[in-house]
Structure 1
Amino acid sequence: MSGSRCLVPERGNSLWRSPHCTSCPGKMWWLLLWGVLQACPTQGSVLLAQRLPQQLTSPGYPEPYLKGQEGTTDIQAPEGFVVRLVFQDFYLEPSQNCEGDSVTISASGMDPCRFCGQQGSSLGSPPGQREFVSSGRSLRLTFHAHSSSEDKATHLHKSFLAFYQAVAVNGSQSTSHASGGAEAVNTPGDHPSKNCCQEPYYQAVPAGTLTCTAQGTWKDRQDGPEIPHCVPVCGRPVTPIAQNQKTLGSSRAKLGNFPWQAFTNIYGRGGGALLGDRWILTAAHTIYPKDGIFLGKNRSVDVFLGHTDIEEMLKLGKYPVRRVVVHPDYRQNESHNFNGDIALLELQHRVSLGPNLLPVCLPDNETLYLSGLLGYVSGFGMEMGWFTTKLKYSGFPVATRKDCEAWLRERQRTEVFSDNMFCVGDKMWKHSVCQGDSGSVYVVWDNHSRRWVATGIVSWGIGCGEGYDFYTKVLNYVDWIKGVMDGKDGPWGS
């Protein structure tokens, strides 16, 4: 239908063209479950990228897509900006050499790159490089689902969910581009002798006189000898929570609110937090529990990351652990002493950071422990007597040591409350931290560095209800943590 054009909304866009679509007017009843209009353009759609991320999905997502669909979307950025595209979900039917269903990314100055489902996998796989940044102002995404004898939905394949946004071009702007394959342009943490770091998830250290060109390569203004390396950016979620005063109960976390959150399943469910791109910070008692019935029973250490739903985490797959390092002060056989309740898990491989997978920062000063300072703890622990499958979080203030000691005495408790711990909450305030949250971290916003910092690790408490919770004081262990991560752990490795 020449001369006609279907409007595509700026947020929550779906690209679609059907070989059976003959006209656009009168077809405005195509409304997705997410309130997204399905358009049927004859010459593709054009979207204007803005600074805030906007959603782009395949037709009907998250429902399985229909065969015989195809569509092209051009994403354009304003003058002085480039387009960043990040895949969050990617499930296409497997095909040999991508001859069947596929997604193609192309832009001026880069070779087109086609992605499809992975052979031998029922759900396919996302692109090895989940983030693409155009070298110019525009980037094109083409989705193709080949026709079959019956125009029916695939059983498990829901195609893709992506986010696009406009990113300013400046001297420190990092860009990455799709090469001929599905692997990332550079491996995070390596020395990128050619390609730049992927901001905002990584930064170049040291930057020196090097700048990033529009082609995504380093250029040295003074021919300096030092090449920077890409290091993870910590404590800066793409989708941060709105910081409010403490509220009753817990809230459901959205994707990207706590991108460092880990889910563990060793002697039961627990939590942890991503440090850098290869380490998980957690509580020692999740690995070596105080309960004597577990003594001598070794369990596999499974770690899951990258989502707020346990079922989705399981689909993404576990991250194999290379090494477990428990602090030497931890005493498993002393049931009332949680001193040294801290451990590190080294992953076998570096993780690829993105909007839903980012590390948290370590504390560097005592002001982050001032009484009354509001912090947040997230986890998959028990809620109202049931284990939740959705990530929840609660806000609690740091309590005074004097109040916590008095509260313990009132209850004639014998647990050790050492200087390596601090407490959170209010004796009149109902808390929601419970079984299954152990190992997760308590984070506070550092106004000075403008980032989220993990000041505590969920360690122990007295029941699930009113009162205080007790946390491992991470600041006291920062030197040990850095020593382990730098490979200077000596006799502490296990």
Structure 2
Amino acid sequence: MLRFSLLLLLFFHSASSKLLGWVESPGYPSGYLPHASLNWSRCASKGHTLSIRLIHLDLEDSQDCENDAVKVFSNGNLISVLCGNKEFEELQSTVNPLLVSASGGCLSLSFHSDFSNIQRHIGFRGFYSEQVSCSEDLSGLNEGDISSPSWPGPYAENANCQYTLSVEAHLQLELHFSEAFDVEQSTDGQCIDLLRIETPSGTLGPFCGDTPPLSPFHTHSHHAIIHFTSNGFGTNKGFTFHFQTRAVDCGFPDIPEDGILKVVGSNTQYKDQIQFNCSSKFYTLEGDDTYTCSASGAWVSDGGRTEMPKCNQICGIPAKNPASAGRILGGRNANLGEIPWHLLIKEPSRGGATLINDRWAVTAASFVEKAEESSLVLYGGLTDGRTTNNPHVSNVTVMESERIIIHPGYSRDTGHAERTNFDNDIALIRFSSRVNFGPNLLPICLPEVNRGMVENEQGTVSGWGMTESTVNPKKLVTSRVLKHAQIGVYPLEQCEITPNLETTGKRMVFTNNMFCAGAPGRDSCQKDSGGPFVTPLLSLNGGPYYLTGIVSWGPPCDQRMYKGYYTKVENYVDWIKETINKIETF
């Protein structure tokens, strides 16, 4: 009640200089009777508007206010129908702003109640006051000046100004405010008098105090309405600004600088069109391809989109269909383009990594944990490891590492004892520069999160690791050619039977972040570490193929157990994406 009284006093004081009177329902505040009625009408002076400010409304509520109702008219036109109970704040924010006459116009109010009142309602009460009318329609003008009433002197009390600006659709309005800006503001920064700028995309402001809006003020529209209101006291000087137009220019669209997303068209004015495409056949365009410069200054696609399209890499589809898979241990040699995502690392030790996009590869943490971040050299687009000796002649792609990110849950090798746990054996490698895709160098797809490993599911493992000697099959030698083998996922219970360490007899740890796979006579081997296990099985169907596992650990190959352990990539897809996104957007 105290808060209501204070607000009432504030309204009475703010309008006191122009307060003309009160209007209320019959019997207020004791309540109105059935069949009560009231007809009221007043007109504003020339150059002024008349407004009604309701401070209390308590009527019987009914559908479409057909029982008891207050109706307000401006020059005979219905502008509001009210019934029910509305709080003071709601009246002030949503009802009272509508109860204003035209300049020099009239307001009329009618009230009626029917016979059906069961509960006695208090009724309504409000005051009517007169304000300076400073509204003007300036539509069609491309240039001009707008100021607060009485500028450069103090602006009028109880002003309610509205200036309408509208120009041709190919133009945009600019407002150039004078530094002399003085609109009443409270000590806590709240606007007492205020300036608002309304455009089709929303209302900007309120603005007040002694700091003008940023000049030039770009409305990004060919249509704007300037609202200015003041209360019943104060000696502030107000504002002035010059409005003018400029041609709509959407500017060149903001796209990545990697050269993959291409724009056809250079004109950026209103109604000009541009088209997007991807510069490489190894990417596909996501989104619309044709955009038009709109009146708002934004590029809008034929489908109504304002966000720019992007080029997504095509993953997991080799340019050349793989032949049927053989074995790594004496297995089938890969042809160029069959396994284009497999990268060779030769130093500080021999192993592999898998290309997942044009800046990143995935490998085993155990393989790179002792490497320096910028020390790795990776080779792609090859099958014969000897071609790395002269990569420019053999068209081998050379990638240098810029950063190595090992999974935070991986426990590094301390060297104090033989390792028994390779949990979270995964790492990311960021290249120092982007690579260009080609038929022999393409990324693999990441699997779905929690896809689930299926017992006996067939996949392909590849690598330049140890294989049987062609001279002596019992002897293992490093393969100079990329080999690939078809192996299957073993049952969980078989994976849980892990090998013992030779020196300590301790059993290796198996976790849910791993799976094991192999086949009689086929397995990954030493120096295959970090390489890919891919599903579905490489075949003539052409993919897409997914990086399901990473070669992690296993028993020595010379024991011919044919059971290797792999990092289960599906458990790390979120970590991979979040890590890459964090670094690329830093």
Provide TM-score, normalisation by structure 1.
0.53
2:420 equivalent in structure 1: 336
User: Is the Cα–Cα contact under 8 Å of residues 457 and 473 in structure 1 kept in the other structure?
Assistant: yes
Percent identical pairs in the alignment equals 33
Secondary structure class of the residue paired with 1:486: helix
The code of the aligned residue for 2:579 comes to V
In 2: Cα distance, 1:404 partner to 1:312 partner: 37
Q: CA 1:318–1:209 in structure 2 vs 1: closer, same or farther (change >3 Å)?
A: closer
1:229 positional shift = 2.2
Identify the match of residue 458 of structure 1 among 548, 551, 559.
551
Identify the match of residue 406 of structure 1 among 474, 497, 511.
497
Q: CA 1:188–1:371 in structure 2 vs 1: closer, same or farther (change >3 Å)?
A: farther
Secondary structure class of the residue paired with 1:467: coil
User: Is the Cα–Cα contact under 8 Å of residues 322 and 338 in structure 2 kept in the other structure?
Assistant: yes
2:572 equivalent in structure 1: 477
1:109 equivalent in structure 2: none
Secondary structure class of the residue paired with 1:318: strand
Q: CA 1:450–1:305 in structure 2 vs 1: closer, same or farther (change >3 Å)?
A: closer
Identify the match of residue 417 of structure 1 among 486, 495, 510.
510
Does residue 487 (structure 1) correspond to residue 582 (structure 2)? The answer is yes
User: Is the Cα–Cα contact under 8 Å of residues 209 and 224 in structure 1 kept in the other structure?
Assistant: no
The code of the aligned residue for 2:440 comes to N
Q: CA 1:270–1:189 in structure 2 vs 1: closer, same or farther (change >3 Å)?
A: farther
Matches within 5 A, 1:17-166: none
In 2: Cα distance, 1:414 partner to 1:199 partner: 50
Q: CA 1:262–1:366 in structure 2 vs 1: closer, same or farther (change >3 Å)?
A: same
1:49 equivalent in structure 2: none
Q: CA 1:409–1:388 in structure 2 vs 1: closer, same or farther (change >3 Å)?
A: closer
Q: CA 1:470–1:489 in structure 2 vs 1: closer, same or farther (change >3 Å)?
A: farther
User: Is the Cα–Cα contact under 8 Å of residues 267 and 286 in structure 1 kept in the other structure?
Assistant: no
User: Is the Cα–Cα contact under 8 Å of residues 523 and 564 in structure 2 kept in the other structure?
Assistant: no
Secondary structure class of the residue paired with 2:278: coil
1:430 positional shift = 2.1
2:23 equivalent in structure 1: none
1:373 positional shift = 0.8
For the pair shown, the structure with the greater C-alpha radius of gyration is 2
Q: CA 1:207–1:489 in structure 2 vs 1: closer, same or farther (change >3 Å)?
A: closer
User: Is the Cα–Cα contact under 8 Å of residues 535 and 548 in structure 2 kept in the other structure?
Assistant: yes
Q: Deviations over 1:98-122 (max 9, x none)?
A: xxxxxxxxxxxxxxxxxxxxxxxxx
Secondary structure class of the residue paired with 2:339: coil
User: Is the Cα–Cα contact under 8 Å of residues 189 and 230 in structure 1 kept in the other structure?
Assistant: no
1:245 positional shift = 8.9
1:191 positional shift = 3.6
2:434 equivalent in structure 1: 350
1:271 equivalent in structure 2: 352
1:368 positional shift = 5.4
The code of the aligned residue for 1:336 comes to T
User: Is the Cα–Cα contact under 8 Å of residues 499 and 555 in structure 2 kept in the other structure?
Assistant: no
1:57 equivalent in structure 2: none
Does residue 391 (structure 1) correspond to residue 482 (structure 2)? The answer is yes
Secondary structure class of the residue paired with 1:481: helix
Secondary structure class of the residue paired with 1:483: helix
User: Is the Cα–Cα contact under 8 Å of residues 191 and 227 in structure 1 kept in the other structure?
Assistant: no
In 2: Cα distance, 1:352 partner to 1:364 partner: 26
Q: CA 1:242–1:368 in structure 2 vs 1: closer, same or farther (change >3 Å)?
A: farther
Q: CA 1:337–1:226 in structure 2 vs 1: closer, same or farther (change >3 Å)?
A: same
2:404 equivalent in structure 1: 324
In 2: Cα distance, 1:410 partner to 1:301 partner: 30
Identify the match of residue 258 of structure 1 among 326, 339, 361.
339
User: Is the Cα–Cα contact under 8 Å of residues 329 and 466 in structure 2 kept in the other structure?
Assistant: no
Q: CA 1:398–1:207 in structure 2 vs 1: closer, same or farther (change >3 Å)?
A: farther
1:467 positional shift = 3.0
Alignment: residue pair count? 292
Q: Deviations over 1:50-82 (max 9, x none)?
A: xxxxxxxxxxxxxxxxxxxxxxxxxxxxxxxxx
2:445 equivalent in structure 1: 361
Q: Deviations over 1:6-26 (max 9, x none)?
A: xxxxxxxxxxxxxxxxxxxxx
1:164 equivalent in structure 2: none
The code of the aligned residue for 2:484 comes to Y
User: Is the Cα–Cα contact under 8 Å of residues 550 and 569 in structure 2 kept in the other structure?
Assistant: yes
In 2: Cα distance, 1:471 partner to 1:269 partner: 18
Q: CA RMSD in A?
A: 3.6
Q: Deviations over 1:147-202 (max 9, x none)?
A: xxxxxxxxxxxxxxxxxxxxxxxxxxxxxxxxxxxxxxx97564422262145411
Q: CA 1:410–1:285 in structure 2 vs 1: closer, same or farther (change >3 Å)?
A: closer
- Identify which range, 379-388 or 309-318, moves more after superposition: 309-318
1:262 positional shift = 0.5
Q: CA 1:339–1:229 in structure 2 vs 1: closer, same or farther (change >3 Å)?
A: same
2:562 equivalent in structure 1: 467
The code of the aligned residue for 1:312 comes to T
User: Is the Cα–Cα contact under 8 Å of residues 246 and 397 in structure 1 kept in the other structure?
Assistant: no
The code of the aligned residue for 2:437 comes to L
1:311 equivalent in structure 2: 386
User: Is the Cα–Cα contact under 8 Å of residues 431 and 466 in structure 1 kept in the other structure?
Assistant: no
In 1: Cα distance, 2:362 partner to 2:497 partner: 30
User: Is the Cα–Cα contact under 8 Å of residues 306 and 357 in structure 1 kept in the other structure?
Assistant: yes
Identify the match of residue 284 of structure 2 among 203, 224, 231.
203
Q: CA 1:341–1:347 in structure 2 vs 1: closer, same or farther (change >3 Å)?
A: same
1:220 positional shift = 6.0
1:23 equivalent in structure 2: none
The code of the aligned residue for 2:378 comes to V
Q: Deviations over 1:262-298 (max 9, x none)?
A: 1113331110000111101001111125xxxx9xx89
Q: CA 1:414–1:222 in structure 2 vs 1: closer, same or farther (change >3 Å)?
A: closer
1:371 equivalent in structure 2: 455
Q: CA 1:298–1:231 in structure 2 vs 1: closer, same or farther (change >3 Å)?
A: closer
Secondary structure class of the residue paired with 1:475: helix
The code of the aligned residue for 1:193 comes to V
In 1: Cα distance, 2:310 partner to 2:467 partner: 43
Unaligned runs of 5+ in 1: 1-185, 211-218
Q: CA 1:486–1:280 in structure 2 vs 1: closer, same or farther (change >3 Å)?
A: same
1:192 equivalent in structure 2: 262
User: Is the Cα–Cα contact under 8 Å of residues 459 and 472 in structure 1 kept in the other structure?
Assistant: yes
Q: CA 1:372–1:199 in structure 2 vs 1: closer, same or farther (change >3 Å)?
A: farther
User: Is the Cα–Cα contact under 8 Å of residues 270 and 440 in structure 1 kept in the other structure?
Assistant: yes
Secondary structure class of the residue paired with 2:399: coil
Provide TM-score, normalisation by structure 2.
0.45
2:364 equivalent in structure 1: 283
Identify the match of residue 436 of structure 1 among 517, 522, 527.
527
Matches within 5 A, 1:284-299: 284-288=365-369
Secondary structure class of the residue paired with 2:582: coil
Q: CA 1:415–1:396 in structure 2 vs 1: closer, same or farther (change >3 Å)?
A: same
